[in-house]
Amino acid sequence: MKSTCQYLVIGAGAAGSAVAWRLAEKGAEVTVLEQGGWVAPESSPSLTLGWERARHRTHHPNPNIRRNSWDYPIDDSDSDISPMLYNAVGGSTIHWGAHFPRLKPEDFRVKSLDGVGEDWPLSYFDLEPYFEINDQMMGVAGQDGDPAYPPKPHRTMPALPMGAGAEKIAAAYDRLNYHWWPVDAAILTADRGARLACNNCGPCDLGCPRKSRASTDVTYWSDLHSSKIRLITEARVSKINSEPGRVTGVTYIDAQGITHEIAADNVVIAGNGVGTARLLLLSSAEWCPQGLANSSDQVGRNLMFHPTALVTGIFSEAVDGFKGPFACSIYSQEFYKTDPSRGFVRGFQGQTIRSDGPLGSALGTYTSPVKWGSQHHEDFYGQFGHTASITVTSEDLPEAHNRVTLSPTLKDHFGIPAPKITYRVSENSRKILDFGIEINKAVLQEAGATDIRVVDLVTSAGFHLLGTTRMGSDPQTSVVDQFGKAHDCENLFIVDGGVFVTVGALNPTSTIQAIALRAADAMLGAPLLKVAENE
């Protein structure tokens, strides 16, 4: 049976929830299709002794490992990095660490400033009022005055405590005269309605029964007051239907395997940089044989992940890194910008990561696994509770050969081709990683670490899925315009991380959501907000 709607949003994750909320609150009629279902915060494994085991199995961020029926598999056999994502109302915010930096003003002008990549067709300041709305919606704890950013509105909730390991690292940064600052975290440090202040438990990635750590199911979806919004869960979109120059609706399959069609005046895709590219490629038609919105041949190309290395210090005294939000403590942007003397362009963010519980320590999530055999227990107690790590989160520049295509062999439960990832860490990123590793080693040594271990590429850190439907002014070299509108289809919009032109060296969720909110205003023809004009 066919139904019709004004705006059909595909995906209820970070971007889909934000765009749907904005559209609905402005009076539009919205239908959201989400491949997964609701995940009750109180179902978090962090309430059980098996929490760490769940993290490495049933709740693993890699869909190929957890193998939920509502996931789709990903062929990553030709990729240096495995993609991590989650399908549910809330999307990957169900399982994220909530580190919430914004891209910096210079990240939008990489071509002009550094001669690489491309400039964005919008600026940090175009997004600024939307960053602020999003911060209010998600709830951000932080500290005013970071010299690494333009002034932001007063953070109404204090920053998270940094933890004993980070205190040593911060003191080392100070002695070395390097920048550091407590992170902006999408985690409440004070009660707010039904969301309680963080109780410093640690495994934010397993969901938050207190709803302290933001996920869009407990932020945007809890704040929806419009009766004009409809959410259909366990709805797997298999194709966007189209005619030359415009889309007409979608075909989706429900959990029982029954196929449905919905006609729509406008379709908005928010399926992440892998899922969205896959869906566009699946939606080829006679008028667009290369895939929908793909006359430029850019759909799926320029995949960027932020290659990440990890340097871990082992301290003789306990630093109790299992306490506190694992991804949120302090960061350093001392080596963020290009310095030609280093032999590479752009730079890295050093993000201090706390550590793990007993199982994560044994498996060596942040270091190498604890030795097996007669030295096992000695090695375990030498590491457990005694480590703190610093990432080298590197700039990742767009390269056409890093891409998402359709797998010729792998299919999901319903026989729909899975995405295939082809990705190689670039020479520039490798140089950044190597440079950052040496910097972080020196910092940890200064901090007093007695042993330092290096993971030179965290292959499981494909959390940021970016660049595969990039925005731009030129339809020959980009897929959408600055408002996410497809160059090839007047009523098709893309608002997820795929639209990133370049990615900086920072976690992208805050920027993804700001782009989605701004795109919603543009879709409705509403005046775009300007700085200091926030609602």
Partner 1 sequence: MNNSMLGMPEHLWKSILDTLIPATSNNHEASKIIVIEELVTDMSYISDMKRLKLFFEELPENFSKIDQSAREAILENLGKSSPETLDALINATYAIYYSHPAVLSTISENTGYSTTAPQPNGYVLKPFDERLLKKNKERPAMWRDPG
Choice between 70 and 180, CB closer to partner 1? 180
**Torsion of Cα atoms, 36 then 38 then 42 then 43, to 10°:** -30
Nearer to partner 1 among residue 305 and residue 336 (C-beta): 336
Contacts of 309 (CB under 8 A, 6+ apart): 391, 392, 394, 433, 436, 437, 454, 455, 456, 457, 458
Q: Which residues between 108 and 127 bind partner 1 (CB under 8 A)?
A: 108-109, 112-113, 123
Q: CA-based Rg of the chain, rounded to a whole angstrom?
A: 22
Q: Please give the residues from 155 up to 194 whose contact with partner 1 meets the rule CB under 8 A.
A: 158-162, 167, 170, 174, 179-182, 189
| Spatial distance between the Cα atoms of 44 and 262, rounded to a whole number of angstroms | 34
530 binds partner 1 (CB under 8 A): no
87/219 Cα distance (integer angstroms): 17
Nearest residue (CB) to partner 1, 342 versus 377? 377
In angstroms, give the least distance from the CB of 439 to partner 1.
16
Q: Is the Cβ of residue 28 or residue 170 nearer to partner 1 in the bound state?
A: 170
Residue 206 C-beta: closest distance to partner 1, Å: 8
Q: Cα 268 to the chain's mean position, in Å?
A: 19
Decide: is 153 part of the binding site for partner 1 (CB under 8 A).
no
**Per-residue tokens: 244:** 């030359």
- Residue 416 CB, nearest approach to partner 1 (Å): 23
Nearer to partner 1, 78 or 144 (CB): 144
150 binds partner 1 (CB under 8 A): yes
CB of 74 to partner 1, least distance (A): 16
Residue 435 token pair = 């440079």
Specify whether the CB–CB gap between 91 and 71 falls below 8 A: no
Site for partner 1 in 377-436 (CB under 8 A): 377-378, 381, 384-385
Binds partner 1 (CB under 8 A): choice among 122, 255, 285, 363? 363
Could you tell me the strand order of the sheet in which 308-314 lies? 181-182, 330-332, 348-353, 387-394, 308-314, 451-455
The reply to whether 106 sits near partner 1 by the rule CB under 8 A is yes
What is the end-to-end Cα distance of the chain in Å, rounded?
40
Residue of 1, 2, 115, 147 interacting with partner 1 (CB under 8 A): 147
Min CB(17)–partner 1 separation in Å: 24
> CB-wise, 285 or 363, nearer to partner 1?
363
Q: Which of 117, 101, 81 is CA-nearest to residue 502? A: 117
Minimal distance, residue 265 CB to partner 1, in Å = 37
- 3-class SS of residue 46: helix
Q: Does 362 bind partner 1 (CB under 8 A)?
A: yes
Q: Could you tell me which stretch among 18-26, 141-149, 241-249, 414-422 binds partner 1 (CB under 8 A)?
A: 141-149
Indicate the residue among 174 and 243 with the shorter CB distance to partner 1.
Answer: 174
| Site residues (CB under 8 A) for partner 1, limited to 277-336 | 318, 322-324, 333, 336
Q: Which is nearer to partner 1, 469 or 482 (CB)?
A: 482
The DSSP letter of residue 116 is S
- Binding segment for partner 1 (CB under 8 A), chosen from 76-84, 101-109, 219-227, 501-509, is 101-109
DSSP string, 185-239: BSB-SS-BTTBPPP---S-GGG--TT--B--TTTTTGGG---TTEEEE-S-EEEE
Note whether 532 binds partner 1 by CB under 8 A.
no
Helix (H, G, I), strand (E, B) or coil at 102: coil
Q: Are strands 308-314 and 451-455 parallel, antiparallel or unpaired?
A: antiparallel
- 86 touches partner 1 (CB under 8 A): no
Chain positions 191 to 250 lying near partner 1, rule: CB under 8 A, are 197-203, 209-210
x/- track of binding to partner 1 for residues 26-45 (CB under 8 A): ------------------x-
Residue indicated by tokens 């959408």: 480
* 49, 194, 258, 532: which one binds partner 1 (CB under 8 A): 49
- Which positions from 491 through 510 interact with partner 1, judged by CB under 8 A? none
- Pull the structure tokens for residue 331: 């960061």
Cα→Cα distances 272→239, 246, 269, 380, 403, Å:
16, 22, 8, 38, 13
Stretch that binds partner 1, among 22-30, 72-80, 140-148, 504-512 (CB under 8 A): 140-148
Torsion (CA) 198, 199, 205, 206 in degrees, nearest 10 = -120
DSSP letter for 341, please.
G
Closest distance to partner 1 from the beta carbon of 211 (Å): 12
Q: Which stretch binds partner 1 (CB under 8 A): 240-248, 371-379, 457-465, 486-494?
A: 371-379
Task: Candidates 27-35, 83-91, 146-154, 483-491: pick the segment binding partner 1 (CB under 8 A).
Answer: 146-154
- The distance from CA 300 to its chain's CA centroid, rounded to whole angstroms, is 17
Residues that contact partner 1, how many (by CB under 8 A): 73
Using DSSP, state whether 330 is helix, strand or coil.
strand
